[in-house]
Amino acid sequence: MNENDISVDQKPGHDEDDVDPENQMFSLSGNNENLELAIDSSHEIEIDHHGEMLTVGQEFPDVRSCRRALRDMAIAQHFEMQTIKSDKTRFTAKCSSEGCPWRVHAAKLPGVPTFTIRTIHESHTCGGINHLGHQQASVQWVATSVEQRLRENPNCKPKEILEEIHRVHGITLSYKQAWRGKERIMATMRGSFEEGYRLLPQYCDQVKRTNPGSIASVYGSPADDCFQRLFVSFQASIYGFLNACRPLLGLDRTYLKSKYLGTLLLATGFDGDGALFPLAFGIVDEESDENWMWFLCELHNLLETNTENMPRLTILSDRQKGIVEGVEQNSSQRPFTASA
């Protein structure tokens, strides 16, 4: 009977159950997967991650790829890493678990960006993580992990991302983490906001070409041609509103939170069941009386050009000054005959 056998009796618990001192093998169990970590006398660590082996002396093109490899390893092996030191020339991290001796140290080679693993300190005494999520599963890590999948199918939902990460890496993310990872990739795929604004005139042309009868116009500021207003109403919305909705029109707005802000103006009908039926939307640089009057004028033109027998419309709104004025101005020629 050796010392290890005695210690098992003295300290009954899960740690010893996972350790086989004979061949220095132990497993970190998490989510019912037993990922085995083999350690030989030269402190080489063999990990079950894309068939890679992390070894002392192993080189990485730069500090980023070195950190990524360690991050992947920590996630694959279900333990969390805590960075102790990280600068241009060194990277040291330890196992986050209190008292666990696992530690890695990497350093830059002189004259080149190459990073190399100098030491990997042995084994874990911790049992791995036993909570949801993973400290190393950052937004960027999630994004990189699902990039290929999102490029193939941009409609892939955050819930599916969650499931894939769980299946492949054995960790459970929150919905928000998956959503943020997806957003990051989508931003790189869709291009910049500036590019998006630049394409608006082309977008309007496409809407009108592919949906005949639709209205889509973008206006730039006369001074510098910067974006000022956008008005869109699809033909199907116009047809549905005039033929199957009550003579009611709700006007509302919501503030946009993307890089360039702005306000979304909405005109919404109500169908026979009382459900909301979108008629038109506008995007303006800011909510102002002038912009509301412009939006009402666009709506008036839309209705006028699409029906000969305009019903008396009741407008539902918060009676913002610009809305009331817009309704009054346009009601002299019909169709806005009342406001509420």
Interaction site with Zn ion (CB under 5 A): 79, 95, 97, 100, 102, 124, 126
82 vs 217 by CB, closer to Zn ion: 82
Find the shortest distance in angstroms from Cβ 164 to Zn ion.
26
Reading the block at residue 203, the tokens are 């977008």
Find the shortest distance in angstroms from Cβ 232 to Zn ion.
56
Selection from 51, 118, 127 nearest residue 95 by Cα:
127
31 vs 144 by CB, closer to Zn ion: 31
Find the shortest distance in angstroms from Cβ 48 to Zn ion.
17
Selection from 245, 265, 254 nearest residue 306 by Cα:
245
Q: How many residues does the chain have?
A: 340
DSSP codes, 216-270: EEEEE-TTT--EEEEEEE-HHHHHHHHHHB-SEEEEEEEE--STT--EEEEEEEE
Residues in CB range of 53: below 8 A, 6 or more apart = 44, 45, 46, 47
95 vs 142 by CB, closer to Zn ion: 95
Helix (H, G, I), strand (E, B) or coil at 279: strand
Selection from 277, 190, 275, 292 nearest residue 231 by Cα:
292
98 vs 308 by CB, closer to Zn ion: 98
Helix (H, G, I), strand (E, B) or coil at 133: coil
93 vs 178 by CB, closer to Zn ion: 93
102 vs 277 by CB, closer to Zn ion: 102
Find the shortest distance in angstroms from Cβ 97 to Zn ion.
4
Q: Which residues face 37 on adjacent strands?
A: 26
Find the shortest distance in angstroms from Cβ 252 to Zn ion.
54
Helix (H, G, I), strand (E, B) or coil at 33: strand
70 within 8 A of 104, measured Cβ to Cβ: yes
Give the distance, in angstroms, between the CA of residue 79 and the centroid of all CA atoms in the same chain: 25
79 vs 336 by CB, closer to Zn ion: 79
259 within 8 A of 286, measured Cβ to Cβ: no
Residues in CB range of 245: below 8 A, 6 or more apart = 269, 270, 271, 272, 277
171 vs 218 by CB, closer to Zn ion: 171
Count Cα neighbours of 215 within 13 Å in the Cβ-side half-sphere. Answer: 21
Find the shortest distance in angstroms from Cβ 99 to Zn ion.
9
Find the shortest distance in angstroms from Cβ 136 to Zn ion.
13
Find the shortest distance in angstroms from Cβ 51 to Zn ion.
23
Find the shortest distance in angstroms from Cβ 107 to Zn ion.
22
95 vs 245 by CB, closer to Zn ion: 95
- CA distances (Å), origin 260, targets 34, 110, 193, 291: 49, 44, 8, 17
